[in-house]
Amino acid sequence: KRFLQLLSALHLIFCLQLGTSNAQEDTGNIISLSLKSPQNTTTGESFWVVLMITNNKDESMEVRTHLVSFTKPKGACNFTYTACLCGQCTRNFYYEVAAYESGTIKGTAEVVSAENICPDDEVVYPELGYKACVEKPVTVV
């Protein structure tokens, strides 16, 4: 339990650092994240986690998402997905996981440059490296 608390504290520090970097102060709130999952679950029972990413700019952008769990999941729980996110829109990423102990689920997104993700005729947002993160505790009962 102490280990999970330390990981959560380190993640919070990481998120706070992202929020105060000079690059992010210059670019503003490029993307926003929210994470939906049940607050409580039963040991070993599958549940859905939804990572919602909103593009706050007019241009499309290539975004790499990560979903990481500090719980002991059924199978691997380090999911990565790269997608094109249209300007001024929200996209949902769905993950089915199962927890065997209480912990924290973390979602992150980063603006990246990946070949052939957005259509050729799309204007792609030029700023790369912007990161955002969100986390939510899950209690196993």
CATH number at residue 81: 2.60.40.10
Average pLDDT, the chain: 79
How confident is the model over 118-138, as pLDDT tens digits? 887 788 888 888 999 999 998
**What does the alpha-carbon distance between residue 32 and residue 120 come to, in Å, rounded to a whole number?**
25
Q: How many CA atoms lie within 13 A of 136 on its CB side?
A: 15
Assess contact for 129 and 110: CB atoms under 8 A: yes
Residues of the domain holding 55: 2-140
How confident is the model over 61-101, as pLDDT tens digits? 999 999 887 655 454 456 888 999 999 999 999 988 888 88
pTM across the whole model? 0.74
User: pLDDT at position 10, please?
Assistant: 52
User: pLDDT at position 22, please?
Assistant: 39
User: pLDDT at position 120, please?
Assistant: 79
- Work out the end-to-end distance of the chain between its first and last CA atoms, rounded to an integer number of angstroms: 15
User: pLDDT at position 109, please?
Assistant: 94
User: pLDDT at position 25, please?
Assistant: 41
Across the chain, which distance is largest between two alpha carbons, in Å? 50
Q: CA separation (Å) from 62 to 11, 31, 35, 81?
A: 24, 11, 20, 11
Looking at per-residue pLDDT, the higher value among 26 and 28 belongs to 28
Domains contained in the chain, number: 1
- 9, pLDDT greater than 90: no
User: pLDDT at position 49, please?
Assistant: 92
